Amino acid sequence: MNKLFSIIVPAYNASSTIAQCIESVLGQDSNDWELIIIDDGSNDNTYDICSSYSKIDKRVLCFKQDNKGVSVARNIGIALSKGDYLTFLDADDWLEPDFIEAFMKSKMADINICGYREVYPDGKVKCEWMPNTLYSENPLDTYTVRNSYFRTPWAIVFKKSFLATNNLHFFENLSWGEDTMYLLCATVKAKDINFVSSVLYDYRYTGVGLTNSLKRHNNMVQFLDIYSDTVKDVANRSPHASSMMNELILFLAIILLNEIVQSDRPMPEKKDIISHIHQYLRQLPFIFICRTKVGRIRYAAAILSRIFSVNIAYQIYRIIA
């Protein structure tokens, strides 16, 4: 008996791209799938487009909710899914025709990862990532070595029974970094991992993102707090994975610091957040550069090089160094 794939698509104001997304599922070489679309309170005709497809093909299931965020939408999709395997597809992305078949021809594990392609809106390819074929019963070390850090859950197929047994859900109180946390928690729990050496997922790269917003900054801080707790749990199981995760914390924290110093937030708010992040970074085992005055000056210089106001740069320097 063929295994059923549940493809979950959270959609918000995606009327310009959702048709291509759905068509890529309809065009699969395999017929063993269900498509679950959760309209997250769109105010365009996204839901109408989805509904028109559900009338043509009963495997296309459309649901609508008030705007509660992508994590809530994905969790609803997980709860509604009936497949043996489950994958997430963004409403502006699409799958290659052999997505399902390529996975099913491999040695399926709790977590299964394929290659992906980033494509500009004009169709030009930005980049591709394709792993070598590999099956491993050491997911933490294998994944961090292969992929450097825990990224988004697309281009990944999960075994549904694995998710259910470990009660894995997206953090609904996080609106930044929720993808990373989900994949991290899944990898920590997984018994095995499988890499498929094919580019099967197409990601539409627009370069557009929310930056410098109060909500984004607060969520980045919240994410780092939750992420750090998970790092502690991983440390004893996989020192290598723990080290990789700490590097990601440093990377994300520096992004946040750069955004804060360049934002138009009042200086007292900037000082509070920068002080919080700086104290947090100093606790990381590999931030040895911050243990000395010279190291702190170098660290500060990396941040201050992005600031054009001498007055602001001086005030930030006093916090860091």
pLDDT digits (tens, 9 = 90+) for 171-215: 888 777 788 888 888 988 899 999 999 999 999 998 755 445 666
pLDDT, position 257: 75
Give exposure, 220-235, as e/b (b: 16+ Cβ within 10 Å). bbbbbeebeebbeebe
Task: For residues 92 and 1, give the distance between their C-alpha atoms in angstroms, rounded to a whole number.
Answer: 32
pLDDT, position 213: 60
pLDDT, position 179: 86
Question: Model-level pTM?
Answer: 0.81
C-beta separation of 219 from 177 below 8 A: yes
Task: For residues 280 and 148, give the distance between their C-alpha atoms in angstroms, rounded to a whole number.
Answer: 22
pLDDT, position 288: 44
pLDDT, position 296: 52
What burial class does residue 268 get, using C-beta atoms within 10 Å of its C-beta: 0-12 exposed, 13-18 middle, 19+ buried? exposed
pLDDT, position 168: 95
Here the tokens at position 72 are: 């809530």
pLDDT in tens, the chain (321 residues): 578 999 999 999 999 999 999 999 999 999 999 999 999 999 999 999 999 999 999 999 999 999 999 999 999 999 999 999 999 999 999 999 999 999 999 999 999 999 999 999 999 999 998 888 999 998 887 766 555 445 677 899 999 999 999 999 998 887 777 888 888 889 888 999 999 999 999 999 987 554 456 666 777 777 777 777 777 766 666 666 676 677 667 767 777 777 777 778 888 888 788 777 776 666 666 444 455 554 555 455 555 454 444 444 445 445 545
Query: What length does the chain have?
Result: 321
The dotted CATH code for 5-204 is 3.90.550.10
pLDDT, position 307: 47
C-beta separation of 118 from 124 below 8 A: no
What are the structural domain ranges in the chain? 5-204, 214-320
Torsion angles phi and psi, residue 174, rounded to 5: -105, 130
Here the tokens at position 216 are: 């984004």
CA dist 120 → 202, 207, 237 (Å): 10, 9, 39
Task: For residues 274 and 311, give the distance between their C-alpha atoms in angstroms, rounded to a whole number.
Answer: 16
DSSP-derived letter for residue 2 is: P
> At what angle are helices 267-281 and 214-235 packed, to 10 degrees?
10
pLDDT, position 215: 67
pLDDT, position 147: 59
